[in-house]
């Protein structure tokens, strides 16, 4: 069993010689211990009056590595040793020196361990650490963070009053930004994924004995109680297409039609190459997307959640694709600029979408990503089942699809209750026949 003890670093026993020539050790009296200023010289150690007086020592489980920690007060040392021995006996032992590690150090170790995530995900973690998490917790000892402190921080994030640092390391380039009231979904990522990721990593590495975030209740997104999911009629979509066509580039209309009817993400659509099209089969292969590297530079990468899929293509979308790809190299991107480069989604948003959406009042506040919801809602209204919508949108499983769109599938409650009622009538009629 591990051993722990407390030593006095200022006062020692003295060795005295008895009249018979033998030696013995004597300790300071209680009165002498209460009056350190008059402590006889032979009871004083070499470090008397310097630094913390009390030293707690112990062996780590296994009895090999010896550790020490100093305290100014004996009562603090005794409390530390009592808690330490209890943790050792119960298997909860954590090296106290690790508890002294700053949150910032732990955060860098955690982020450095993220070798399997996409660069865009890494960049999001980096940004959230720099903007919100490190400013709040960076210099705190990781073992000192409490649930109550996290609860208070969550409320500050919701109110827009939390400490923050923007424009660090060029992760965000705008100047003068201010934090706003944080949405529930974004807050859950900042606190639950980024901040929580560091704490879970610290738990795994045995730097802390418990996770103070474990029982923190994060707010739920109540959604838009005034409006449903984005939806547009076919007439409204046609007006959007005409508006995009009027901006001068044929590819803009075709890209908008693809987004609004097949449901790819903008980065997936602009990453399509001509060789990905199977127009005779009315589909297109999605297996790459535009993303960013850790420095924020645009690059091609795997699709979100690594779910490759086939996009369904309507005949009028195919007509547009045939028109803009005729005679071109299969390795070319489908949607290109006048200089032959792949269309940039951010540039297309500013150059085309912001102007085109003015043509339809219902779409005036929609983002490009909202066109995915439009494609899904129209597909469901046309009779598409859950599996088809899941595959079209590239959701990892049908649960995500159902969580978002389940209310749009026609209800069969009336149909089912009618069938139950009919069977009830048949059963009662048969019983009456038997009784007769």
Reported as a single tens digit per residue, the pLDDT across 264-313 is 999 999 999 999 999 999 999 999 999 999 988 999 998 876 578 999 99
Check whether residue 259 and residue 189 sit in a common domain: no
Q: Are 343 and 251 in contact (CB under 8 A)?
A: yes
**For the segment 53-83, what is each residue's pLDDT rounded down to a tens digit?**
999 988 877 666 788 889 999 999 999 888 8
Q: Report how far residue 301's alpha carbon sits from residue 268's, in angstroms, rounded to the nearest whole number.
A: 10
Q: Report how far residue 426's alpha carbon sits from residue 197's, in angstroms, rounded to the nearest whole number.
A: 60
Check whether residue 248 and residue 387 sit in a common domain: yes
| pLDDT value, residue 227 | 56
Q: Are 85 and 2 in contact (CB under 8 A)?
A: yes
| pLDDT value, residue 305 | 65
pTM: 0.69
Among 65, 91, 117, identify where a domain stops. 91
Which residues fall within 8 angstroms of residue 344, CB to CB, at 6 or more apart? Answer: 270, 290, 298, 337
Q: Report how far residue 357's alpha carbon sits from residue 370's, in angstroms, rounded to the nearest whole number.
A: 12
**For the segment 130-179, what is each residue's pLDDT rounded down to a tens digit?**
999 999 999 999 989 999 999 999 999 999 999 988 765 544 444 556 66
Q: Is 25 helix (H, G, I), strand (E, B) or coil?
A: strand
Check whether residue 287 and residue 140 sit in a common domain: no
Q: Is residue 160 part of a domain?
A: yes
Helix (H) or strand (E) holding 8: strand 4-8
Check whether residue 282 and residue 140 sit in a common domain: no
Number of Cα atoms under 13 Å in the Cβ half of residue 221 = 12
Check whether residue 249 and residue 169 sit in a common domain: no
| C-alpha R_g of the chain | 34
Instruction: Compute the CA torsion angle 182, 188, 190, 191 (nearest 10 deg).
Output: 110
Number of Cα atoms under 13 Å in the Cβ half of residue 327 = 1
Q: Is residue 435 part of a domain?
A: no
Check whether residue 124 and residue 200 sit in a common domain: yes
Total count of domains within the chain: 3
Handedness of CA 56, 80, 153, 107 (dihedral sign): positive
Residue 342 tokens read as: 């792949």
Indicate whether 118 pLDDT > 70: yes
**For the segment 392-422, what is each residue's pLDDT rounded down to a tens digit?**
998 888 888 888 888 787 776 777 788 888 8
């Amino acid at each position: 069993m591990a051993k722990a003890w407390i030593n006095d670093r200022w006062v020692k026993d003295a060795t005295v010689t008895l009249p018979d020539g033998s030696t013995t050790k004597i300790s300071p009296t209680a009165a002498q211990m209460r009056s350190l200023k008059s402590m006889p010289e032979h009871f004083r150690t070499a470090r008397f009056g310097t630094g913390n007086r009390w030293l707690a020592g112990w062996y780590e489980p296994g009895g090999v590595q010896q550790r020490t920690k100093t305290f100014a007060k004996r009562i603090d040392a005794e409390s530390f040793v009592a808690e330490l021995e209890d943790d050792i006996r119960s298997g909860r032992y954590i090296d106290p020196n690790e508890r002294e590690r700053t949150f910032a150090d732990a955060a860098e170790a955690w982020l450095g361990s993220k070798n399997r995530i996409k660069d865009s995900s890494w960049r999001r973690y980096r940004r959230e650490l720099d903007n919100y998490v490190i400013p709040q917790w960076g210099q705190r000892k990781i073992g000192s963070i409490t649930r109550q402190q996290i609860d208070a921080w969550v409320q500050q994030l919701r109110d827009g009053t939390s400490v923050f640092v923007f424009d660090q390391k060029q992760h965000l380039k705008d100047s003068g930004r201010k934090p706003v009231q944080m949405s529930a979904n974004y807050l859950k990522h900042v606190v639950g994924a980024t901040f929580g990721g560091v704490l879970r990593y610290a738990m795994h590495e045995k730097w802390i004995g418990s996770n103070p975030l474990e029982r923190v209740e994060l707010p739920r997104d109540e959604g838009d109680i005034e409006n449903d999911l984005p939806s547009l009629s076919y007439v409204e979509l046609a007006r959007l297409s005409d508006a995009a066509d009027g901006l001068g580039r044929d590819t803009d209309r075709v890209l908008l039609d693809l987004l609004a009817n097949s449901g790819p993400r903008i980065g997936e659509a602009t990453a399509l190459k001509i060789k990905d099209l199977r127009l005779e089969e009315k589909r297109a292969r999605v297996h790459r997307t535009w993303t960013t590297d850790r420095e924020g530079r645009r690059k091609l990468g795997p699709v979100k959640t690594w779910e490759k899929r086939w996009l369904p293509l309507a005949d009028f979308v195919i007509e547009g694709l045939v028109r803009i790809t005729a005679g071109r190299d299969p390795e070319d991107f489908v949607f290109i600029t006048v200089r032959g480069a792949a269309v940039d989604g951010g540039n297309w948003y500013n150059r085309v979408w912001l102007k085109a959406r003015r043509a339809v009042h219902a779409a005036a506040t929609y983002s490009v990503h909202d066109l995915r919801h439009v494609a899904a809602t129209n597909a469901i209204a046309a009779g598409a089942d859950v599996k088809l919508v899941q595959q079209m949108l590239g959701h990892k499983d049908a649960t995500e699809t159902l969580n978002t769109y389940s209310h749009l599938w026609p209800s069969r409650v009336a149909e089912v209750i009618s069938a139950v009622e009919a069977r009830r009538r048949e059963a009662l009629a048969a019983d009456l026949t038997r009784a007769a």
